[in-house]
């Protein structure tokens, strides 16, 4: 694993309640008057601008100092792909040249942002493009928060609704990078941060059991999604290798323990034809979901080059949906594919970019897209 990028002075890497004192101290060190710290705060929090070059009420020299120091940009947009169904996929380049992706998905009056929490992923789920990359490094809180601010600003500027929901379902297993994810959630939702409702935030995990309890303790209002994909040990071991460390039984136990009427747990289940879509699988899934009163969300498999599995068509997903509905009294839905024309599978855009020959590799992000 690549060594962690060093922590910076960037305020998003530190607790939100330290923002004012950090800004004041920084202004003092730069021999700037105290009121400048309030102006920076206004831009950063009230206007959600993280790029100092856009903080137009500040003198140019101060903007420059901020850009080179405390507010140096955590990421820039390297690619933006627009799907015919309205989904937008972003590839961001981080300060050390690595890439991550975020996806904005519109539904009715909502805009859901799928965030990345790591570069690559160590969980190695066998249906996932990101899983094939292994883990390069964890993201810092500033790199997580900046994805949100960038996508919100870009989509609002296009006359769209911006980000109304956040899901940690992009590259990486969020509970493998819990400290940074937790800090980013603090920034999204706290009174000193962006005051975004925590009920609009979902953390999706493949089942890192000890961290699930910690997440629920630290962020009781945040929603939890569990990527199950099979409730039968042998099958799940082959699809989600982490199951060999945190078994289905352990996972079930912790979900029953944290079950609470005010917190909806979702079970995510990618339908893989011939692998996890038989009647025994449906029965096991219903049993598992019943214990923790979860909502079941069936997802089509997004194929990518070199994928081990075939895509599930609407008919196959529909067939499995009926099997599950016969077994389960709780709610079950089937989600349709989004953004298939723009490298729709998680990690696919970054993976495809990594495969580009070096000579054509656009390692210099398009400055016109820089935020």
Output the CA angle 97-100-102, nearest 5 degrees: 145
CB contact burial 97-116 (16+ within 10 A = b; e otherwise): ebbbbbbbbbeeeebbbbbb
What is the rounded distance in angstroms from the CA atom of residue 108 to the CA atom of residue 74? 31
Distance of closest approach, residue 358 Cβ to ligand SF4, in angstroms: 26
Identify which of residues 124 and 162 has a Cβ nearer to ligand SF4 in the complex.
124
| Per-residue contact flags (x/-) with ligand SF4 for residues 210 to 239, judged by CB under 6 A | -----------------x------------
Distance of closest approach, residue 200 Cβ to ligand SF4, in angstroms: 21
- Of 146-165, which residues contact ligand SF4 (CB under 6 A)? none
- Of 312-351, which residues contact ligand SF4 (CB under 6 A)? 346
**Catalytic annotation, residues:** 101, 346
Distance of closest approach, residue 343 Cβ to ligand SF4, in angstroms: 15
Phi, psi of 193 (to 5 degrees): -105, -130
Identify which of residues 65 and 118 has a Cβ nearer to ligand SF4 in the complex.
118
Identify which of residues 27 and 228 has a Cβ nearer to ligand SF4 in the complex.
228
Retrieve residue 295's tokens. Answer: 């909502």
Neighbours of 129 (CB within 10 A): 25
Distance of closest approach, residue 159 Cβ to ligand SF4, in angstroms: 31
Closest-CA residue to 54 (of 145, 143, 157, 144): 157
- Check residue 73 for interaction with ligand SF4 (CB under 6 A): no
- Check residue 103 for interaction with ligand SF4 (CB under 6 A): no
Q: Cβ distance 180 to 117 under 8 Å?
A: yes
Distance of closest approach, residue 126 Cβ to ligand SF4, in angstroms: 8
Cα separation values, 308 from 131, 238, 298, 301, 311, Å: 12, 12, 19, 11, 10
Q: With CB under 6 A, what is the number of residues at the site for ligand SF4? A: 13
- Of 106-145, which residues contact ligand SF4 (CB under 6 A)? 121, 123-125, 128, 130-131
The residue from 66, 77, 93, 171 that contacts ligand SF4 (CB under 6 A) is: 171
Identify which of residues 73 and 348 has a Cβ nearer to ligand SF4 in the complex.
348
What is the rounded distance in angstroms from the CA atom of residue 354 to the CA atom of residue 126? 19
DSSP at 273: T
What is the rounded distance in angstroms from the CA atom of residue 194 to the CA atom of residue 180? 16
Q: Which residues bind ligand SF4 (CB under 6 A)?
A: 121, 123-125, 128, 130-131, 171-173, 206, 227, 346
């Amino acid at each position: 694993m690549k060594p962690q990028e060093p922590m910076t002075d960037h305020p998003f890497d530190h607790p939100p309640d330290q923002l004012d004192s950090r800004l004041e101290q920084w202004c003092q060190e730069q021999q700037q008057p105290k009121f400048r710290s309030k102006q920076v705060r206004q831009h950063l929090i009230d206007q959600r601008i993280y790029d100092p070059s856009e903080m137009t009420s500040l003198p140019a020299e101060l903007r420059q100092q901020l850009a080179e120091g405390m507010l140096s940009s955590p990421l820039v947009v390297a690619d933006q792909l627009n799907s015919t169904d309205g989904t937008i996929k972003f590839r961001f380049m981080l300060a050390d040249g690595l890439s991550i992706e975020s996806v904005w998905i519109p539904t009715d009056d909502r805009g859901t942002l799928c965030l990345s929490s790591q570069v690559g992923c160590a969980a190695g789920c066998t249906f996932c493009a990101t899983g094939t990359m292994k883990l390069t490094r964890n993201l810092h809180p500033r790199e997580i928060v900046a994805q949100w601010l960038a996508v919100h600003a870009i989509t609002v500027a296009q006359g769209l609704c911006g980000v109304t929901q956040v899901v940690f379902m992009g590259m990486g297993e969020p509970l493998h990078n819990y400290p940074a994810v937790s800090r980013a959630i603090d920034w999204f939702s706290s009174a000193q941060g962006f005051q975004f409702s925590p009920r609009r935030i979902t953390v999706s995990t493949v089942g890192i059991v000890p961290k699930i309890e910690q997440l629920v303790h630290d962020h009781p209002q945040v929603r939890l999604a569990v990527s199950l994909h099979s409730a039968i040990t042998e099958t799940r071991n082959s699809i989600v290798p982490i199951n060999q460390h945190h078994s289905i039984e352990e996972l079930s136990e912790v979900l029953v323990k944290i079950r609470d009427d005010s917190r909806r747990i979702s079970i995510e289940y990618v339908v893989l034809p011939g692998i996890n879509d038989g009647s025994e699988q449906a029965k096991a899934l219903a049993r598992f979901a019943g214990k923790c009163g979860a909502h079941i969300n069936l997802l089509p498999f997004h194929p990518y080059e070199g994928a081990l599995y075939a895509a599930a068509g609407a008919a196959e997903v529909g067939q499995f949906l009926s099997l599950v509905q016969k077994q389960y009294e709780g709610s079950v839905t089937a989600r349709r594919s989004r953004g298939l024309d723009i490298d729709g599978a998680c990690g696919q855009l970054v993976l495809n970019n990594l495969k580009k020959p070096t000579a054509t590799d656009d390692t210099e992000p398009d400055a016109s897209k820089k935020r």
